[in-house]
Structure 1
Amino acid sequence: MVMTKEMMDAVERENVVFFATSTADGTPNVVPIGFARPMDSKTIMIVDNYMNKTRKNLENNPKASLVPRDASKCPYQFKGTVEVIESGKYFDEAVDWVKSVSSKHAPKAAVLLKVEEIYSVQPGPEAGAKVA
């Protein structure tokens, strides 16, 4: 699936997204994340600054979902598979990005969500409809 420029711009503008994971047996977990942005039309980077349960979930079940905080600005849910990266180019990009915003954080990993499905979260009759 491919995010449109409008979708990518909206994710970039949001300062908080809700990131959902689940345990291997299906127990859900949702956390607010302050560092998330599109890397390209198929990938969203989420920075792991404080993940605990979320990180354990991703290690056992790499499927995840992300919804920007303000659905009126970005009414989409992005679902896909993640890759956790603790060194190299993407990790360095995550560290540089976080350090440019705040010296309080020490990123542990860059989490790359490969977008496989996109759904509408717009209220109304199309709520939950698959967009791409």
Structure 2
Amino acid sequence: MVMTEEMMDAIEKDNVVFFATSTTDGTPNVVPIGFARPIDNKTIMIVDNYMNKTHKNLENNPKASLVLRDASACPYQFKGTAEIIEEGKYFDEAVDWAKSVMSKLAPKAAILLKVEEIYSVQPGPEAGKKVD
């Protein structure tokens, strides 16, 4: 599944997304994230500045989901598998990006969400429908 230009632009422009993970026994966890942007049409980078439960959840269960705060701009849910990156190119990009916005930030990791499924969150009869 690939994101459209419209989806990627909306993710880039929204300053808060909601990122959902769960424990291995299924206990859900959702957090607001201020740093998320697509790096290509199949991958969203999320900067881990303050994650605790989310980081631990991803270590044990890499399945995750993301929606934008402004669902009217991008009425989609992105589901996939996340990878924690703590060094190298993507980590360096995450650090540079976060510090360019707020110099006091000290990112712990870059999280790369590989988008595997996209669903509509548009209210109405299409809600929850998988996007082809």
Q: What's the TM-score bracket when you normalise by the shorter of the two chains?
A: over 0.9
- Is 2:96 the counterpart of 1:96? yes
Q: Which runs of 5+ in 2 are unaligned?
A: none
Aligned-partner Cα distance in 1 for 2:104–2:76: 30
Q: What is the identity, as a one-letter code, of the residue corresponding to 1:76?
A: Y
1:1-132 correspondence to structure 2 within 5 Å: 1-132=1-132
Aligned-partner Cα distance in 1 for 2:115–2:50: 23
Report deviation, 1:104: 2.3
| TM-score, structure 1 as length reference | 0.99
Deviations 1:10-48 (A, max 9, x none): 000000000000000100000000000000000000000
Deviations 1:32-65 (A, max 9, x none): 0000000000000000000000001000000000
| TM-score, structure 2 as length reference | 0.99
Identity within the alignment, %: 86
Aligned-partner Cα distance in 2 for 1:129–1:95: 36
Local SS of the residue matching 1:11? helix
Number of aligned residues: 132
